[in-house]
Structure 1
């Protein structure tokens, strides 16, 4: 028992120093399970040096060089500034021809301490432009890449942006300038496929309690795709059975371990593993709610410095190429399934619950230095069931004083209209019947948990009242931000503050 306690104390001390001093991963673990992939060429800035990562000047120099070498295929633009005044670059690649194209969005570096994700995007750019076996992809694809989304965080190897926000928890409340910039660029590009590259932490505090003397994560890559029930089922199925499965096969061919995304959480003193996601506050679901084929990738890398750096880049590169190849081979299928999804008018799922069951995952037992199957409790968002549902409205109406909500809706891609005259309409209104406000802030916001009474009534709305029609591509995302009980709504995040017995300035128009 004393030995185990000593190990855990040592483990925690190492893990607390997450930026590589010291690295919690032993050379033995690296050699046995995560040897580097030497086929990765030293063609990006970080790969051409022994320490550190690509800095901002190296990034812009690298991109400018690619533009100079391939001006007919790549265009560089800047979509906005970081909070510290750094221009955020986006590159757009395609071969100029008359063939039908499919639009693919990729981003890396949304979390500043996940440096491998940015380097993977740079490596992908280089290979697509310079390796003849990949050139054909641009005949069929219009590709937009933001390689370093969180520049300020990246330059100090910090997960968060300059004002302390997590950019992948900010996708509905839109409180960070970088989030708005990225959303505007995403909406303008209007992709059919959207990919977000991340890295995850393989050594966690709660892992010290597992196995005989602790464990570490074994998967080179994990796939996070949405289980949100407002994402049309045909797109959820197409993402899983075609894109994700093809990428997993490619990883298998290269002896890289993979799994659907899992992360730990404490539930009544027990550690459970959450699988998948249905949270609109993060990119995987947020993109999917735009009726887009969407996946977020987590590569094993946070907190281990440059250990297995080429292996990590190779994992992302193989996944990215697989998605691009699958897109090229299925252009008509993807476009037709998105068109089907755009025409659906299913009931709105306001809240849902995850399926809970026992299963096993592969982990590395640190004491035995072995890959083992460990039985765990899974809370599976990919097998969600609806709890609160409502009839999908024809439109939402919002009081004309709520300009902040309207600006956020427009940033999320929503088309907004206004009533051009005073109009009496039968609508459903929300009355707050139960209310709780968190005293401790989450992401600088006081979260609100509410229950509402939805009541039909006739209301005379003044000219200038905002109308958000639901016959638009991002209608499912509109549901997530406007239905007050939804866990990532404007009300839940405190963007729209409310209180007990208050009537909300949002209405549902059914007819």
Structure 2
């Protein structure tokens, strides 16, 4: 009874969107412990759903945490990777019918299919490297966005609705089910775990050293071998690989900003579909059991983690691998070699499944800071930047409007340099290699401008979005591009006389100008560049050009 569409099939078929929703509606109708809700629109025009499983039969958002932890499951973000969709349907059924032990201290919330537009775009060919199922959805959503790059920039209705769900549910643990791409090896199950340094403090170490090892040990008892996501493509993994650092654009990176440990199961694309669904099910079941036995500790560490992000403390915006710190990782692989391609006539990589091996490979798990910032007491953002303010609000950021016009001493950033990608990426041309100049000055703010304290649960979200040098900052994602363009200019034949007068009246300016001409031969030969330099160092130059319009209050 209550067989899922997957179980009714041949083991290589996944439920459609309509079948998935219909199945959960049936569980909602027949079991008092399950409730299904509509929660916000998606780009497809269809609403997102959540399905709550609570043995206490309480479904109000303010009741989910009644002495319990909450596990949030996300499925179908890439509908061509549907393992979690089918596994979660079985998990809910088994919990509702008592086949699985009833959790006493945990509530589960599940988004059945997050990328509805992609699920409706069903086909059998777009996952060219994947071994089943027979048909599946497409990676891009209804507007062709990859939703697992959109959590921070929130270009899609899906992402905005997810933020609403995430903050109403306030999960303690998060799982986002996927299927891998990349090398070939013996494992059916790999995983991306929120990086412990990114998660921070005792919470990060607990997740890395205690929680995750125990869950993986439980899987091993069921004869399921697991390994961190094999982060190599088109090369043999024998040389080792590094732990994936999940930035905030990704689901687990997003969760990490709110002190929620997350994992991204990545079942292996070349293994048969039935095996992949089975291990996804077991991973979720093992995680649920661990949470249920340790819910108090998890919740305590989440709360405690906020103490690591106080004003005056340092926060890392950019990391890189510390290659001096390496561990040996047991690895079950296949011998790889190169042979002549029948297509190109050039060497091509292949794996010989008749030659499995068990050996250790280097694994790089430790990162070191590249760019750090001191956490301010607050940020101030003018009300005119409503596009960013709206995103802060949907992410549950608390802010206070100024009651009156006021002049305040703040830290101000000027964008000194940056690079921009040559090709479109997820609807943007993101900036990188951002350099800033910091000054302290008095700025006139106006009634209604927003003061945003960093002493709130979203402190890491504020740092990752409002500090322009962060990899996924709103500056990086082009939300502030209007400041990069001058709006006023000068006509050279008119400004010539003004420039001469400025140099005559300002001795310091003239000396700096002459020194620059002596030291920079190109500048000395370029009349336009010289006039522009004087213009930019004069009162005539607009102060908003390259002036980052988010300010830091230190005291």
Q: TM-score range by the shorter chain?
A: 0.7 to 0.9
Q: Which residue of the partner structure matches residue 497 of structure 2?
A: none
Which ranges of structure 2 fall in alignment gaps of 5 or more residues?
A: 59-65, 123-136, 336-350, 486-544
- 1:364 paired with 2:334, answer yes
CA-CA distance at 1:375 after TM superposition: 7.2
- 1:485 paired with 2:469, answer yes
More displaced 10-residue stretch of structure 1: 439-448 or 500-509: 500-509
- 1:158 paired with 2:138, answer yes
Of 444, 449, 468, which aligns to 2:427?
A: 444
Q: Which residue of the partner structure matches residue 94 of structure 2?
A: 127
Q: Which residue of the partner structure matches residue 549 of structure 2?
A: 505
Which ranges of structure 1 fall in alignment gaps of 5 or more residues?
A: 1-40, 208-215
- 1:185 paired with 2:165, answer yes
TM alignment of 1:30-179, pairs within 5 A:
43-50=3-10, 52-70=13-31, 72-96=32-56, 100-135=67-102, 137=103, 139-155=104-120, 156=122, 157-179=137-159
- Find the residue that maps to 2:199 and give its secondary structure: coil
Give deviations 1:129-159, integer Å, cap 9, x for gaps: 1134422x1x321221102111221232211
Equivalent pairs counted in the alignment come to 448
2: CA distance, partners of 1:326 / 1:414: 31
- Find the residue that maps to 2:245 and give its secondary structure: coil
2: CA distance, partners of 1:469 / 1:266: 46
Cα RMSD between the aligned structures?
A: 2.4
TM alignment of 1:322-337, pairs within 5 A:
322-337=286-301
CA-CA distance at 1:309 after TM superposition: 2.4
TM alignment of 1:22-33, pairs within 5 A:
none
CA-CA distance at 1:100 after TM superposition: 1.5
Say if 1:298 and 1:42 are closer, same or farther in 2 by CA, change over 3 A: farther
2: CA distance, partners of 1:161 / 1:444: 13
Q: Which residue of the partner structure matches residue 211 of structure 1?
A: none
Contact 1:250 1:318 in 2 (8 A): no
2: CA distance, partners of 1:264 / 1:417: 46
2: CA distance, partners of 1:111 / 1:278: 17
Q: Which residue of the partner structure matches residue 479 of structure 2?
A: 495
More displaced 10-residue stretch of structure 1: 218-227 or 327-336: 218-227
Q: Which has the higher strand share?
A: 1
- 1:431 paired with 2:408, answer no
- Find the residue that maps to 1:504 and give its secondary structure: coil
Give the TM-score of the pair, scaled to structure 1.
0.82
Considering only CA atoms, is the larger Rg found in Structure 1 or Structure 2?
A: 2
- Find the residue that maps to 1:424 and give its secondary structure: strand
CA-CA distance at 1:196 after TM superposition: 1.1
Contact 1:428 1:509 in 2 (8 A): yes
Q: Which residue of the partner structure matches residue 10 of structure 1?
A: none
TM alignment of 1:99-498, pairs within 5 A:
100-135=67-102, 137=103, 139-155=104-120, 156=122, 157-201=137-181, 204=182, 207=183, 216-227=184-195, 229-264=197-232, 273-301=241-269, 304=270, 308-344=272-308, 345=310, 346-356=313-323, 361-365=331-335, 366-367=351-352, 369-373=354-358, 380=364, 382-449=365-432, 450-497=434-481, 498=483
